[in-house]
């Protein structure tokens, strides 16, 4: 009787790749060991060669999300040049990546239950810090730049949250352009 072929050897990175795809599509709730194993064409048992438990896989997915959706985006849009152009590039990139962030849309709601709230806080603080620094470079006073950075991030996250409920006439790029315009508006006299 011929032996059945041995399942392909799957690396830790391949597990994280497949789990990250599940996260992008279905949020952290979609990162289920059995489902990821099926997607990879391997048994659940091979998972334990690379991870202690589902929580360690979720942590790896969140680390990847942080690197790809924050640090890499900042690096790509932080090239030398005018700070307003860099802000526009950042906001444009965020708008362009919206369709690939379904999981992030759910992450803010799932973070505490999945034990990744600290990572979400860290990413949020990093994003706010980066936008505030660019606003200050663009001439917005620091005391105004910080709250505007928070509002800009809230607008981006909120637009993602509202994506399914917005009228078809609301194009993501125009909403992001409006957020950028608001962030850069001259401060009102007090």
> Does residue 114 form part of some domain?
yes
Residues 120 and 186: their CA atoms lie apart, in Å, by: 30
Q: Are 162 and 100 in contact (CB under 8 A)?
A: no
Look up the CATH number of the domain holding residue 167. 1.10.357
How does pLDDT run along the chain (190 residues), one tens digit per residue? 555 555 458 999 999 999 999 999 999 999 999 999 999 999 888 899 899 999 999 999 999 999 999 999 999 888 778 999 999 888 888 877 766 677 888 898 899 999 999 999 999 999 999 999 999 999 999 999 999 999 988 888 777 777 667 776 667 667 777 777 887 787 777 6
Separation of alpha carbons 59 and 89, rounded Å: 29
Q: Can you tell me which residue has the tokens 């965020």? A: 94
Listed in order, strand segments (DSSP E) in 71-131 are: none
The residues near 172 (Cβ < 8 Å, ≥ 6 apart) are 95, 98, 159, 163
In a domain, 53, yes or no: no
Domain range for 130 is: 63-184
Give domain status of residue 1, yes or no: no
Residue 169 inside a domain? The answer is yes
Residue 146 in contact with residue 137, Cβ under 8 Å? no
Number of domains in the chain: 1
Q: How far apart are CA 22 and CA 173, in angstroms?
A: 26
What is the model's pTM?
0.84
């Amino acid at each position: 009787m011929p032996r059945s072929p041995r399942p392909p050897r799957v690396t830790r990175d391949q597990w994280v790749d497949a789990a990250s795809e599940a996260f992008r599509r279905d949020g952290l709730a979609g990162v289920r060991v059995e489902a990821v194993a099926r997607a990879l064409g391997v048994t659940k048992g091979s998972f334990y060669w690379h991870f202690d438990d589902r929580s360690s896989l979720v942590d790896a997915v969140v680390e990847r999300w942080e690197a790809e959706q924050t640090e890499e985006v900042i690096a790509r849009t932080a090239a030398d040049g005018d700070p307003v152009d860099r802000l526009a590039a950042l906001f444009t990139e965020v708008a362009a990546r919206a369709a690939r962030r379904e999981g992030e849309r759910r992450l803010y709601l799932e973070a505490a239950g999945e034990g990744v709230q600290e990572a979400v806080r860290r990413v949020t603080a990093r994003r706010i810090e980066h936008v505030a620094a660019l606003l200050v470079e663009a001439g917005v006073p620091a005391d105004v730049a910080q709250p505007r950075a928070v509002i800009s991030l809230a607008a981006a996250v909120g637009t993602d949250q509202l994506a399914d409920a917005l009228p078809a006439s609301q194009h993501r790029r125009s909403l992001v352009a409006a957020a950028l315009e608001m962030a850069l508006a001259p401060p009102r006299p007090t």
